[in-house]
Structures are given as C-alpha cells and as structure tokens.
Amino acid sequence: MTRRQLVKNTVIVTLLMAGAAVILLPFFWMLSLSLKPAHEIFAPGIDFLPSKLEWENYAKAFNETHLLRYLMNGVIVCGAILFFQILFAVPCAYALAHRSFWARGAIFGLVIAGLLVPYHVTAIPLFLGFAELGLLNTYSALVIPFVASVFGIFLFRQFFASLSTDIIDAARIDGLSESAIVWRIAFPIAWPAASAFAVFSVVAHWNDLFWPLIVVSDPNLATPPRGILYFRDEEAGSDFGPLMAAATMVTAPLILGFLLAQRKFIQGITASGLKG
Amino acid sequence: MIELENLSKIFGQTKALDNVSLTMPEGSFTSLLGPSGCGKSTMLRIIAGLDQPSSGQVRINGRDVTELTAAERNIAMVFQSYALYPHLSVRGNITLPLTMRNMNRIERMPFLDHILPSARRKIAEHAEQTQRVAEMLEIDQLLDRKPSELSGGQKQRVAVGRALVRDPIVFLFDEPLSNLDAKLRTQMRSEIVDLHQRTRRTFIYVTHDQAEAMSMSDNIAVIMGGRILQVASPRDLFERPVNVDVAAFLGDRPINLIELSTAEGRLPPPFDGFACDVAELPGRVIIGLRPETLEPDEQGPLTGTVGEMEYLGSEAMVSLHLDGGHQLRAALNASGVLPKPGETLRLGVEHGIAHVFDAATGRRLGGLSGAAKAGADIKGEGA
C-alpha cells in the first residue's frame, strides 16, 4: 500500500467510524442504562459503562409488566402481516408482469400512485370502518389494513418483469397452472426480493406505534412499542432502568433478525443465478 | 401428424401469419426457416399452444387442438434461452414436468409428498425415469447441480432432457443452438438428429440458419413475411427454389443474382452462351448463379476479368467483371492454379443449379445449363 492510499483509507475509515458512532450511541446508551443501578442513572456526569451490571432491571421489566406478551403480539402481528402481504402481492405482481389483460397499465399506475399515499391519511376512515364492524381491539384490526402492500406488489412486479418469458412459457408447457407458476417458479426465483421485502415489512410493523395506539387499548393486544408506553405511564413511573431494559428487549429481536436476514439476503443475491 | 390449416395471426395492424397451411407427417423432421420477424416463431408458439391464432386450426393426429392449452397437447419445447428453472437442480428441472402430469394436487403438497404412499411410489418412478433420460443424454453426473453451474451445451442438454422425459407427441425447437459457439453447435446438431432417429417422433425446428435447416431436416418450410413460400426437401429446395427470395436465402454464400433484359426471347450477351430450358422468356429476367457451382472451364460460357480475390484456405472467392458491366463472385477450388487479378477467366456452370427467374414476379422459370452450345462458339474468346 502506498502512503497516499494509507492516508486515504485512514480518512475514510475514520469518517465511517464517526458516522457509525453517532448512529450507535443511542443504542449503546440504552444498553448501558438498562444495566445501571437506579442511582447511577441520574448521577451527574456521563459514565458510559455501569459500575456493576444490574440485572434487576431486566427482571423487573419481565415481572412487573407483560413484556413477553408484547413481544409475542409483535411476532403474531408482524408474522400475519408478512404472510398475507406475500400471499397477495406475489400473485398480483406476477399478473402485472406476465399476463396481459384489460387496463393492466392503468392498474400498475394505480399501484405506483398508492406508493405515494402515506397510510396515516387513510387512518381515520379505516378506524371508523373498524369501529363500525366492531373489530377494534382485535388482532384483525392490527393486521388487515396492511395485508395489501402496494410496495410489495411494486417490488415483486419489478423483479418478475426481469424474468424471461421463456421460463414462464416452459412452465406452461410443462403443465404448470398459473398459480403453480407463481408459487413453484416465480416466487422461489424472487427469493432475494422476498427477503428484502420481509426486512422492510417486519421492521416497519414491529416499530409501528401509530396504528396500534389508535385501534388497540387492550393491554393484552399491545405490540412492543405500544407496550413500552404502558410501561412508562403506569407501571414504572420514572423508573428508567427497567424501561431501558424493556426497550433493549424490544429492539434486540429486530437487530438479531436483521443480521440473520442480511446474511441470507446477500447469499440470495449471489447464489441465485438468475440467468438460468 | 401435425396439420395447420389456414392459420392467421394478427398483432394490432400487422399480420404475423397470413393464411398458412402446412402438414408435418408423423415422425418427420420439419424446419421452419426464415429471416427474423418472418412469423416462424409465432407459428411454433401457436403449435405449442402458447399463442392463439386469430383464425385457423391446429390438428395433432387428426384431433383439433386449437382450443387446448400447451400442457393438454402433450408437446415439448426447447427454447433458445434454454429456459431452465434457475432455482431447481438439474434433477428438479427434469422431474418437474413428470410431477405436474402424474401427481395430483394433494400428492404435490410439500411434506405430504413424503408421506402419502402413492406420492412416494410416483416420486420413485420419476427418479428412475429422470435417471434414464440423464444417462441417455450423458448428464447423469450433473443431476445435483444448479443451472447456473452448467455450460451452454450442458444447459441445452438439460433442456432436451426435460422435453424428452415426458415422452411427448411432438418436439418443438425454437432456435435451440443460436446461443452456442460454432463447434458446439455442430455437435448438438448431430445429437438432435440422433435423438430424432431414436425417438422417431415428429420434430419441428425453427431456425434462421439455413445451414442448420438443410443439414438436419427432411422437410423445410421457407417462411417470409408471414407466408410459406415453399415446402420441400433440402435438396429440392436448393435445386429448385420456387422464387428469387428463397434462392437468395439459401446457400452458405450469397447467390449471384443478375437482372437482364432479354432480346427476342433469348438471354443477352454475355449470358447467351447458356442453354436455357425455358420455352419462352419474359422481357426481364434474373439469373441466379451459385458461387460454388462456377468452375474454370476452357469451354465455359462466361468470360470476364478477375477482380479482387479472397483466399480462404480450401477455396478462393473471386469476383469476376463480365463483359457488359455485370459482376459475379465465384468460389474456386484453391488447390489448383488460381487466377491473378487482371487476368481473363472463363467459367462454366454445373447443370441444374443455375436458375432463371421472372424479374417481375420473382418466380423461377427454369434452369440454365453451362454446356457449350452454338452461342458460345460464335461469341469466341475475343469479346
């Protein structure tokens, strides 16, 4: 390595590390607080590391609230949303990419237009609708508004559009019905797109506070971010140690899941030889 | 037997196929030959059931299949891009058509296919069939690989295996060799011919490469502009092309086409030395001379000055400036003494492969013979 390269690399790595530090600092602070004894949390001055590991905060978070229940709800809601999103988006995307029918272009235009609408805009009509149907305070209310994902349709349709029509024709000749083509051929080939979509979907719905806050008041149905709110307001008061422990527990599955998915994701992209 | 009756296909304003009828006998090897965009692939897709004709009928063994789906027709197709399923292994690719045909929806379900006795039995049978086909095509070593790990020739063989395993009535090939390099193409060509010999099924082969069509098929249908111009054996096609377009499309080297006005029903000089078997020539004709049928001949009817020459090893392409301003190219055997640029050369033509076409309609009127007759003597050397 020449001297110039060395300097250049040093500058780049330093900048990247500074950026990473800014992003990671709140997480680190959360982790640190969750392990500090109560009196250290409010001590003047900044100590990044706790003087001793205070596991009591975690015990309190689990015992005094329904943290496990909130995490379970998160898994159920995110899992159901992802399942239905894929169930609906993949066939839609296939039809938009590989079938010709009346007004196909216009429908795809609507899908793209749908991407521009923030879901907060539709929140009030949806809320009134669910109230009318008596579905408030149910898992359905948490899941149904998100089962049709225009983003998912768009993402898969772009992926399928790059798929050669010869493969689809070959499948038709081999005796696959259109739905068999979707699930046996198109969807497995679209695995990289699917895992990318899964990351987006799960992160968005796991972290979503807005919609659960509107449609769910039953603590038994609270998703993790909603659960943390209960925790702060009623159970723990200003007890920040257990609060931070709960927040850590809520964030951890996502970070772990993302790291695993990211690995699969990269594998998926490199291993699937899309040119068959 | 495949019969196409008055097939037409219209895309918007353009007629991709214009009232085409063609019969392909059982066990024949028919090539659909034509330049790109002529409608040959559309024809194949209609036979396959991937496209519906705008009008007309497709019959397989006498049964009208126009309304049936591709799968119901029991045909197999090999694509130019191989069209292998990238996420399945070679084994999975070859087995899938069997699974779809022989197993019902419940037997195909994930997990159940390992539990149900009927499904397990069928899976074992399919594995055996796949193995047999793979051995026949010598790809049994590759069964566990993914398509992305195969070379072009291997992929093509897997595609053939996937077609072969179902024992279809008809094999359709859509330019299957165009993505292969020249050497492999020749090899795969003979493998496909060999496959035809062994299976004795009807093969329909779409190509724009006339050499491929000539070397492989029993029958060639030449298609241009959505119409079939001629259906004939390779030899008849070469020796008696129905019109000037067919003649121009065939042959390894472009045919020499020379347009002439006739004088009193005879060819003008310098072509008056040819014996012509056409009773009455129209006002304007085109004569077609294949470069490889022209040979140096002391008594030959064509005389001209040698222009540039390309030496190609076994032969040399010579361009000859004829008296009267015409120019033609001849492929001469390079083992003999080659003429030098500027020299005078006399050429003769083998009988039967020189053609006279009507310039107005393009239709073939008859053949030319290069044997010297009275005219050649009159013309003499000094012209």
pLDDT at res. B381: 35
Phi and psi dihedrals of A92, rounded to 5? Answer: -60, -45
Residue A52, C-beta contacts closer than 8 angstroms, at least 6 positions apart: A37
What CA–CA distance (Å, rounded) separates B300 from B302?
6
Residue of B nearest to A165 (CA): B83
Which tokens belong to B267? 């060819």
**Residue B382: pLDDT over 80:** no
- The closest alpha carbon to B93, from B74, B78, B80, B104, belongs to B78
pLDDT at res. A273: 41
Residue B229, C-beta contacts closer than 8 angstroms, at least 6 positions apart: B222, B223, B242, B243, B245, B246
A262 touches chain B (CB under 8 A): no
Which tokens belong to A42? 């409010």
Return the SS3 of B96. helix
Residue A214, C-beta contacts closer than 8 angstroms, at least 6 positions apart: A123, A127
Q: Do B162 and A275 touch (CB under 8 A)?
A: no
pLDDT at res. B352: 54
Question: HEC profile for chain A?
Answer: CCHHHHHHHHHHHHHHHHHHHHHHHHHHHHHHHHCCCHHHHCCCCCCCCCCCCCCHHHHHHHHHCCHHHHHHHHHHHHHHHHHHHHHHHHHHHHHHHHCCCCCHHHHHHHHHHHHCCCHHHHHHHHHHHHHHHCCCCCHHHHHHHHCCCHHHHHHHHHHHHCCCHHHHHHHHHCCCCHHHHHHHHHHHHCHHHHHHHHHHHHHHHHHCCHHHHHHCCCHHHCCHHHHHHHHHHHHCCCCHHHHHHHHHHHHHHHHHHHHHHHHHHHHHHHHCCCCC
Long-range contacts of B240-246 (CB under 8 A, 24+ apart): B240/B364, B241/B288, B241/B355, B241/B364, B242/B363, B242/B364, B243/B357, B243/B361, B243/B362, B243/B363, B243/B364, B244/B286, B244/B288, B244/B357, B244/B362, B244/B364, B245/B362, B246/B222
Return the SS3 of B288. strand
A188 interaction partners in chain B (CB closer than 8 Å): 87
Q: Do B77 and A170 touch (CB under 8 A)?
A: yes
Handedness of CA B118, B123, B126, B127 (dihedral sign): negative
Share of chain B above pLDDT 70, in %: 96
Q: Do A175 and B146 touch (CB under 8 A)?
A: no
- Portion 30-49 of A in contact with B at CB < 8 A: none
pLDDT tens, per residue, chain A with 276 residues:
688 899 999 999 999 999 999 999 999 988 888 888 877 877 777 777 888 887 888 888 888 778 889 999 999 999 999 999 999 999 999 999 999 899 999 999 999 999 998 888 889 999 999 999 999 999 999 999 999 999 999 999 998 998 889 999 999 999 899 999 999 999 999 888 888 888 889 989 999 999 999 999 888 898 988 888 876 665 545 677 888 888 888 888 888 877 877 766 666 555 444 433
**Residue B31: pLDDT over 90:** yes
The segment with the largest mean pLDDT, out of A237-246, B19-28, B254-263, B271-280, is: B19-28
**Residue B325: pLDDT over 70:** yes
Judge contact between B157 and B135, C-beta under 8 A: no
Stretch B168-185: mean pLDDT: 89
Which tokens belong to B276? 């012509």
A191 interaction partners in chain B (CB closer than 8 Å): 87
B79 interaction partners in chain A (CB closer than 8 Å): 166, 169-170
Phi and psi dihedrals of B291, rounded to 5? Answer: -55, -35
Q: Measure B60 CA to nearest chain A CA, in Å.
A: 16
Q: Do B50 and A176 touch (CB under 8 A)?
A: no
B75 interaction partners in chain A (CB closer than 8 Å): 173
A178 interaction partners in chain B (CB closer than 8 Å): none
Q: Measure B85 CA to nearest chain A CA, in Å.
A: 6
Q: What value does the mean pLDDT of chain B take?
A: 86
Q: Measure A106 CA to nearest chain B CA, in Å.
A: 20
What CA–CA distance (Å, rounded) separates B138 from B149?
16
Q: B334 or A172, which is more confident?
A: A172
**For residue B31, what is the DSSP state?**
E
What CA–CA distance (Å, rounded) separates A233 from A247?
14
Return the SS3 of B13. coil
Is the N-terminal amide bond of B270 cis, ω within 30° of 0? yes
Going from the C-alpha of B193 to that of each of B205, B213, B218, the distances in angstroms are 11, 11, 10
Size of interface A-B (CB pairs under 8 A): 78
* Predicted confidence band of residue B373 (pLDDT cuts 50, 70, 90): very low
Q: Measure A185 CA to nearest chain B CA, in Å.
A: 7
What CA–CA distance (Å, rounded) separates A240 from A33?
8
What CA–CA distance (Å, rounded) separates B383 from B378?
10
User: Which is it for strands B170-174 and B202-207: parallel, antiparallel or unpaired?
Assistant: parallel
Judge contact between A42 and A238, C-beta under 8 A: no
Stretch B85-112: mean pLDDT: 88
A273 touches chain B (CB under 8 A): yes
A272 interaction partners in chain B (CB closer than 8 Å): 86-87, 148
A260 touches chain B (CB under 8 A): no
What CA–CA distance (Å, rounded) separates A11 from A164?
44
Test the B interface: residue of A159, A164, A167, A173 with most B CBs within 10 Å: A173
B7: left (phi over 0), alpha (psi -120 to 50) or beta: beta
Q: What are B47-64's pLDDT values in tens digits?
A: 999 999 999 999 999 899
Which tokens belong to A142? 């948490």
Amino acid at B266: R
Which tokens belong to B41? 């692939």
**Residue B30: pLDDT over 90:** yes
Of A170, A176, A189, the CB nearest to B87: A189
pLDDT at res. B374: 37
Stretch B80-84: mean pLDDT: 90
A269 interaction partners in chain B (CB closer than 8 Å): none
Q: Do B71 and A164 touch (CB under 8 A)?
A: no
A171 interaction partners in chain B (CB closer than 8 Å): 85
- The closest alpha carbon to A114, from A144, A157, A151, A159, belongs to A151
Residue of A nearest to B89 (CA): A276
Q: Where are the beta strands (DSSP E) in B141-233?
A: 170-174, 202-207, 219-224, 227-232
Going from the C-alpha of B230 to that of each of B223, B224, B242, the distances in angstroms are 8, 10, 6
A270 touches chain B (CB under 8 A): no
Q: What are B187-242's pLDDT values in tens digits?
A: 889 989 999 998 899 999 999 999 999 999 999 999 999 999 999 999 999 888 99
Please give the domain boundaries of chain B with CATH numbers for all domains: 2-237 (3.40.50.300), 243-369 (2.40.50.140)
Q: Measure A261 CA to nearest chain B CA, in Å.
A: 19
Phi and psi dihedrals of B34, rounded to 5? Answer: 180, 165
A273 interaction partners in chain B (CB closer than 8 Å): 86, 146-149
Please name the residue that has the structure tokens 């050497």: B183
A180 touches chain B (CB under 8 A): yes
Stretch B309-321: mean pLDDT: 86
Q: Where are the beta strands (DSSP E) in chain B?
A: 2-11, 14-24, 29-33, 55-60, 63-64, 75-78, 170-174, 202-207, 219-224, 227-232, 256-261, 275-276, 284-289, 294-296, 302-311, 315-322, 327-333, 344-349, 354-358, 364-369
Q: Do A273 and B148 touch (CB under 8 A)?
A: yes
- The C-alpha angle B98, B103, B107, rounded to 5 degrees, equals 135
Residue of A nearest to B167 (CA): A174
Of A169, A174, A274, the CB nearest to B86: A274
pLDDT at res. A150: 93
pLDDT at res. B297: 79
Return the SS3 of B38. coil
Test the B interface: residue of A165, A166, A168, A174 with most B CBs within 10 Å: A174
Of B50, B86, B96, the CB nearest to A272: B86
Stated length of chain B = 383
pLDDT at res. B380: 35
Phi and psi dihedrals of B13, rounded to 5? Answer: -95, -20
